[in-house]
Amino acid sequence: MRIAIRMDDITPDMDWDKFNKFKTILDRYGVKPLIGVVPDNQDPKLSLNEAHEDFWDYIKELQNDGWTIAMHGLSHLYTTKEGGIFPLNHKSEFAGYSYDKQCEMISKGKELLASHGIYTDIFMAPSHSYDVNTIEALKKNGFTKITDGFGYEPYERYGMTFYPISANRGSVLKSSRDGAVTFVVHTNTMKDKEFDYYEQVCQNQSMISYRDLFRETPVRRGIFGALRERLMASAKYTLVRLRSK
């Protein structure tokens, strides 16, 4: 199994020391990740440092260096308690709102990124929460790809291409099947031992950069595959809650 990396919560005021520490590991192994940039961050939990003035130029530099940019929501504020169609969490910036409202939010995010010279057709939903209206609003705004869902290869559903995330890292690392799956990384909250873990992953596994993952032909996913994914996400939500009790 090939492993791709996505980094969430990229903002001008993120924890830069941890970001840089993780980037050093990726650079060492030549891995180019997908990064989720929040167009207009309003979430205080993501604000951990003084904002870097040259943030947007730096993001463009990363893009020139082969990194891939996704739009990570608009403001990263959870204003609904919906899990949407991939209910790993029951909170969302988008799921639960009307198509018109979501269209407006997505278009605003896209405009903000464009005002900084950043263009992308990849969406990363805060908390993995999106619904059918989110997908329609994304399509209306020219988005074609979503980083989420469960599976072992890119798949097509609702007229979008999905790049699945790992449901269970342990079993992915042991798997001998062919395919490609994304490991989700939040550097802001990473502990030392997690940096060591990723060093090991990059060293011992077959890694794939996002720009190469986009060259793969997606498989078609039908209604049963979609239902299965939804059940798995619900089960994972319940398990995580039980474990934290």
| Binding footprint of Zn ion on the chain (CB under 5 A) | 8-9, 126
User: Token digits for 76?
Assistant: 């990263």
Cα(68)–Cα(200) distance, rounded to whole angstroms? Answer: 23
Cα(90)–Cα(55) distance, rounded to whole angstroms? Answer: 31
Return the number of the residue (1 or 4) whose C-beta is nearest Zn ion: 4
- Asked whether 71 and 113 are in contact (CB, 8 A), the reply is yes
User: Token digits for 114?
Assistant: 């464009």
Instruction: Work out how close the CB of 191 gets to Zn ion at its nearest, in angstroms, rounded to a whole number.
Output: 18
Instruction: Residue 228: name the closest of 151, 123, 129 by CA.
Output: 151
Instruction: Work out how close the CB of 120 gets to Zn ion at its nearest, in angstroms, rounded to a whole number.
Output: 16
Return the number of the residue (8 or 82) whose C-beta is nearest Zn ion: 8
User: Token digits for 139?
Assistant: 């399509």
Instruction: Work out how close the CB of 145 gets to Zn ion at its nearest, in angstroms, rounded to a whole number.
Output: 17
- Look at residue 202 and give its three-state secondary structure: helix
Please report which helix (H) or strand (E) contains residue 146, including its range.
strand 145-146
Instruction: Work out how close the CB of 222 gets to Zn ion at its nearest, in angstroms, rounded to a whole number.
Output: 29
Return the number of the residue (194 or 216) whose C-beta is nearest Zn ion: 194
Return the number of the residue (7 or 181) whose C-beta is nearest Zn ion: 7
Return the number of the residue (9 or 131) whose C-beta is nearest Zn ion: 9
Instruction: Work out how close the CB of 8 gets to Zn ion at its nearest, in angstroms, rounded to a whole number.
Output: 4
